[in-house]
Amino acid sequence: SAAIVIEDLIKCVNFAAEKHKNQRRKNPEKIPYINHPIGVAFILTNEAKITDVSVLHAALLHDTVEDTDTSFEEIENLFGKTVRGIVEEVTDDKTLPSAERKRLQIVHAPDSSFEAKLVKLADKLYNLRDLEKSAPEGWSEQRIQEYFEWSRKVVDGLRGTNVAMEQSLDEIFKKRNVI
């Protein structure tokens, strides 16, 4: 029922908030990290018009395993196998060097499930909007431009998934002259 869906989503946002409680975003404003997963979920409901609750759970949880002590088992126990599977698809292997992780995101994008592609598109859209607002400390203009160019390559492997998000991303790439 609607009440159970709401209860589960609040449980999920609370779990993510506790896991990310000591983290901040890389922008100079040092925004609490939890603003990002909540914002990614909001892009999915508000702009992409997604109502699949598993996708919204995965959006809220998408950086918990990558960036906190959260395990996939914990996610499965609390939120089920479907959510665990999507979170696994959007989690980078942190034992790999970061250049290799970035390369694998480009390679794996086209093979992702529809649900994982939605989370990946919303994640890229949120991060590029963040970069448009302000540069993370220590990032040169060249590094920012390279991030836009890499994101474009990942997004190219995610196309045919959601018109609204892909249009917003294309406008951002156009503004930045990323072909």
| Active site positions, annotated | 66-67
Query: With CB cut-offs between 5 and 8 Å by kind, which of Zn ion, ligand NDP, none does residue 11 bind?
Result: none
81 is written with which tokens? 């196998």
Beta bridge partners of 24: 32
Q: Is the CB of 22 or the CB of 140 nearer to ligand NDP? A: 140
61, 63, 79, 124: residue in contact with Zn ion (rule CB under 5 A): 63
- How many residues comprise the chain? 179
Separation between Cα atoms, residue 171 and residue 155, nearest integer Å = 13
* Minimum CB distance to Zn ion, residue 178 (Å): 20
Q: Is the CB of 42 or the CB of 147 nearer to ligand NDP? A: 147
Where does this chain bind ligand NDP (CB under 6 A)?
A: 25-27, 36, 63, 98-99, 102, 123, 127, 130-131, 136, 140, 142-143, 146-147
* Minimum CB distance to ligand NDP, residue 6 (Å): 26
**H or E element at residue 148:** helix 141-156
Local structure of residue 157 (DSSP, 8 states)? T
Query: With CB cut-offs between 5 and 8 Å by kind, which of Zn ion, ligand NDP, none does residue 132 bind?
Result: none
Contact letters for Zn ion, residues 96-125 (x by CB under 5 A): ---------------------------x--
Q: Is the CB of 61 or the CB of 178 nearer to Zn ion? A: 61
88 is written with which tokens? 């696994």
79 is written with which tokens? 């939120």
Number of C-alpha atoms within 13 angstroms, CB side, residue 125?
27
How far the first Cα of the chain sits from its last, in Å, is 45
Q: Is the CB of 23 or the CB of 177 nearer to Zn ion? A: 23
CB 61 within 8 A of CB 37: yes
The number of beta carbons lying within 10 Å of the beta carbon of residue 7 is 11
* Minimum CB distance to Zn ion, residue 147 (Å): 13
At position 38, the amino acid (one-letter code) is I
Query: According to the binding rule CB under 5 A, does residue 130 interact with Zn ion?
Result: no
Residues of the shown chain interacting with Zn ion in the complex, contacts defined by CB under 5 A: 63, 123
